[in-house]
């Protein structure tokens, strides 16, 4: 299938150089309100779909609607850009981290498209696509952006920053960065059979460092502005190197539902299955909705 690159991030990211045929569309979802309209565009002939998640607290984002809407627009590969705090002295503000593991400390967010009426269990052993991350790394190297490949991202509920005791605890667990936005986004992308990766953009050192001021919003916003400028360049570079035919994911992100649905056909809830039409369409043979 042809590649369609999805981007999720802050509002500043959509001001990208090299955009062609750009238009915004409202995409309806059976899972509720999508965070914003979706930008349809092309960069170097590669179809791009960008969804801002600005203006909402992380706990208020409707992650299911967002992923469902992106899937409905034909997205095959999804790159999530998110601000984060560093739990590692080596990862200074301004550094980008291609994380490869998550620890989910959120509590109040719907985590799955599935449930009573249709149960499914997808593997999250390798929660990001190494294939997609490899292309993002090529773009980072091409644009000479300081980055690290690999790391564990602990996702907290927020909206408050963590306490010093929590920050030290997460460091003791071996976490490298901390943020509020990438779960359940990564889980839902896997259920939707999207190749997914996260670019964690460091803005601060959280609050674990002794004799240093705790994180504050003003300093975070200052670094975020510079990070956004670098992210824009990375997206343009990614479009230049990304295959025009969707590359199969080496860990099976794009085949995650094969063998994952455990509820027999005769016991599946019809209403839930109708909501799942886009998510399960490839494995159950249901038609995707036409969004033209």
Instruction: State the first-to-last Cα distance of the chain, in angstroms, to the nearest integer.
Output: 19
Residue 181 counted as an annotated binding residue? yes
Q: Residue 49, SS3?
A: strand
Residue 82 counted as an annotated binding residue? yes
The label of the residue with tokens 């036409």 reads 290
Residue 83 counted as an annotated binding residue? yes
Q: Residue 1, SS3?
A: coil
Listed in sequence order, the DSSP H helices in the chain are 63-72, 130-142, 164-172, 185-191, 217-241, 270-275, 277-284
Residue 53 counted as an annotated binding residue? yes
Q: ω before 184 within 30° of 0 (cis)? A: yes
Residue 204 counted as an annotated binding residue? yes
Set 88, 100, 204, 254: catalytic member:
204
> Nearest 5°: phi and psi at 284?
-105, 0
Residue 292 counted as an annotated binding residue? no
Q: Is 108 a catalytic residue?
A: no
Set 68, 100, 206, 254: catalytic member:
206
Q: Is 68 a catalytic residue?
A: no
Say how far apart CA 92 and CA 148 lie, in whole Å. Answer: 11
- CA-based nearest residue to 248, from 86, 146, 130, 91: 130
Residue 11 counted as an annotated binding residue? yes
Catalytic residues: 204, 206
Annotated binding site: 11, 53-54, 82-83, 180-181, 204-206
Annotated binding site for substrate: 180, 204-206
Annotated binding site for phosphate: 11, 53-54, 82-83, 181
């Amino acid at each position: 299938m042809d590649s369609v690159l999805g981007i999720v991030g802050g509002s500043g990211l959509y001001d990208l150089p090299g955009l062609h045929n750009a238009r915004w569309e409202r995409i309806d979802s059976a899972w509720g309100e999508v965070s914003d309209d979706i930008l349809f565009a092309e960069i170097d002939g590669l179809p791009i779909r960008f969804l801002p998640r600005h203006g909402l607290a992380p706990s208020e984002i409707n992650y299911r609607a967002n992923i469902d809407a992106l899937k409905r627009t034909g997205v095959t590969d999804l790159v999530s850009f998110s601000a984060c705090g560093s739990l590692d002295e080596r990862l200074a503000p301004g550094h980008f981290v291609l994380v490869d593991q998550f620890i989910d400390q959120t509590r109040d967010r719907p985590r799955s498209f599935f449930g009573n009426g249709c149960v499914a269990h997808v593997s999250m052993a390798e929660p990001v696509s190494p294939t997609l991350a490899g292309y993002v790394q090529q773009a980072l190297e091409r644009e000479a952006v300081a980055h690290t490949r690999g790391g564990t991202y602990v996702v907290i509920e927020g909206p408050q920053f963590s306490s010093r005791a929590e920050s030290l605890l997460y460091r003791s667990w071996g976490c490298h960065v901390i943020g509020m936005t990438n779960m359940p986004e990564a889980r839902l992308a896997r259920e939707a059979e999207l190749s997914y990766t996260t670019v964690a953009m460091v803005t601060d050192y959280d609050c674990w460092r002794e004799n240093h001021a705790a994180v504050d919003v003003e300093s975070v916003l200052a670094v975020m502005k510079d990070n956004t400028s670098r992210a824009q360049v990375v997206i343009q570079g990614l479009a230049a190197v990304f295959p025009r035919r969707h590359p199969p994911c080496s860990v099976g992100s794009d085949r995650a539902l094969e063998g994952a649905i455990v509820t027999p056909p005769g016991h599946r809830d019809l209403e839930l299955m109708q909501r799942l039409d886009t998510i399960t369409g490839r494995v159950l043979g249901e038609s995707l909705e036409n969004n033209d």
